Structure 1
Amino acid sequence: MSRKSRNVRQPRRRAVSPTLGKRSCCQLCRVPATSGKHRKATTPPTTTTHHLTTTAPATTSWRQGSTYAIGDKVTYQGVTYSCRQAHTVHDPNWTPPNTPALWSRG
């Protein structure tokens, strides 16, 4: 009987991982338990709820050339008005009683 050479497939060589065959300290970091370089699992930051207190905006006198934000309070001729729409006063006729789209009483 003649011997035929068999085509035996050799397994491929893979790159050897430094952690291959060594026990990991945990599933998270996969660092070998003996390395001393354990990465601790981080805990999510605690959520703090801040209770914001709002103070009433200070009331100032209405002036031409001023810029007002929503909620600003002004007094004009002894009456207090609240800004309904942010704007800058360019026209002296834009007084609070003349512009109800910009100001409301109160």
Structure 2
Amino acid sequence: LTRMDRGEPGGTLAGRLDTGRVAVAGHSIGGAAALQAARQDRRFDAVIDLDGFPHGPTGGHLGQPVLALTQEIGPGTDPDYLPRLTRVLELDAATNYRLT
């Protein structure tokens, strides 16, 4: 984000992006990376996790709103998937939490 604010790299969008309002999103491993990126960089205002399995430690404060969309949970689903995702999303500060 810092480089984008400076116009790096150049291109059509250089200087035209509002880097003060940024969501991070990803699918699969990219969804997990989006969750981790938001934990590490508070400049991300929101997270969209499309079927990403949270890797690594699930602790740490994730203060941004998260939209987590998952595949159907069935017999072939890793049994640790839903508990890990739930641990990532559970916050004392959460104002709304739905798991359906």
Q: Which TM-score band applies after superposition, normalised by the shorter structure? A: under 0.3
Which has more radius of gyration? 1
TM-score, normalized by length of structure 1? 0.21
More helix by share: 2
